[in-house]
Amino acid sequence: MQGYDKYAFEPFAVTVDLAVFTVRAGRLHVLLVERGQEPYAGQWALPGGFVLPDESAETAAGRELAEETGLADSTGSAGLHLEQLRTYSEPDRDPRMRVVSVAFAALVPDPPAVHAGSDAARAEWLPYGTPGPLAFDHDRILADAHDRVCAKFEYTGLATAFCPPEFTLGELRQVYETVWAAELDPANFRRKVLGTTGFVEAIPGAARLTGGRGKPAALYRAGPATSLHPPLLRPTTVSPEGKPS
């Protein structure tokens, strides 16, 4: 940071790219946009855009998320999560010019109708893993985002960001099962969640029929806890030689 020279640096474009996840019909979905022009015309890409002169990357990401989904920003408010992932800066990641992209992961509850964004050609929720190769280095960004979300499910209450304001423990469990692609014991899951203070809060008298069959389930709200002690570990997915981050 010594010796600033206004002309010593190459001008970079700085963008944000968003990996926006939701759980719909028991499957993990990602919000993607179809590119209308070269390069990668016709291919799917992550939504994103330029960081404006008076914005931080976080502000730009919140704005883009709102434009694409119609959801309010709010990095902390009711069910909605936006988190910086990392920055991708390989010199050749965009063939046209030097673009440094700050990637974000976002988690939203199910049914935000795809609100055709201001500049988006076509935006759609697609099941995670289904579309072929994405544009640019977006396959890698998406994979990194997925890893991060999976990992954070273990030691944070992040899963509630995928749920509506009021949810049953069965619904919360299905979110975990969907994201982790694993089966969890309902009894033990219940105990762990309820045994962690601040993870969820019971809604006194309420109960919800769970789609016909079965006993009506009690309703819960997301609690104030951000980190879970002890963590909620996923079953056998843990490899003794897995990568750390």
Binding to a copy of itself by residue 102, rule CB under 8 A? Answer: yes
Binding to a copy of itself by residue 237, rule CB under 8 A? Answer: no
Binding to a copy of itself by residue 142, rule CB under 8 A? Answer: no
Closer to DNA by Cβ: residue 164 or 231: 231
Look at residues 113, 132, 39 and name the one whose alpha carbon lies nearest to residue 69.
113
Judged by beta carbon distances under 5 to 8 A according to partner kind, the member of DNA, a copy of itself, none in contact with residue 170 is DNA
Three-state SS annotation for 163-223: CCCCECHHHHHHHHHHHHCCCCCHHHHHHHHHHCCCCEEEEEEEEECCCCCCCCEEEEEEC
Binding to DNA by residue 187, rule CB under 7 A? Answer: yes
Binding to a copy of itself by residue 198, rule CB under 8 A? Answer: yes
Q: Which of residues 42, 52, 130, 209 is near a copy of itself by CB under 8 A?
A: 52
What count of Cα atoms within 13 Å lies in the side-chain half-sphere of residue 108?
24
Which residues are CB-contacts of 188 (< 8 A; sequence separation ≥ 6)?
A: none
Judged by beta carbon distances under 5 to 8 A according to partner kind, the member of a copy of itself, DNA, none in contact with residue 213 is DNA
Judged by beta carbon distances under 5 to 8 A according to partner kind, the member of a copy of itself, DNA, none in contact with residue 205 is none
User: Rounded distance, CA 146 to CA 28, Å?
Assistant: 10
Cβ 168 to DNA shortest distance, Å: 5
Closer to DNA by Cβ: residue 36 or 216: 216
User: Rounded distance, CA 228 to CA 199, Å?
Assistant: 7
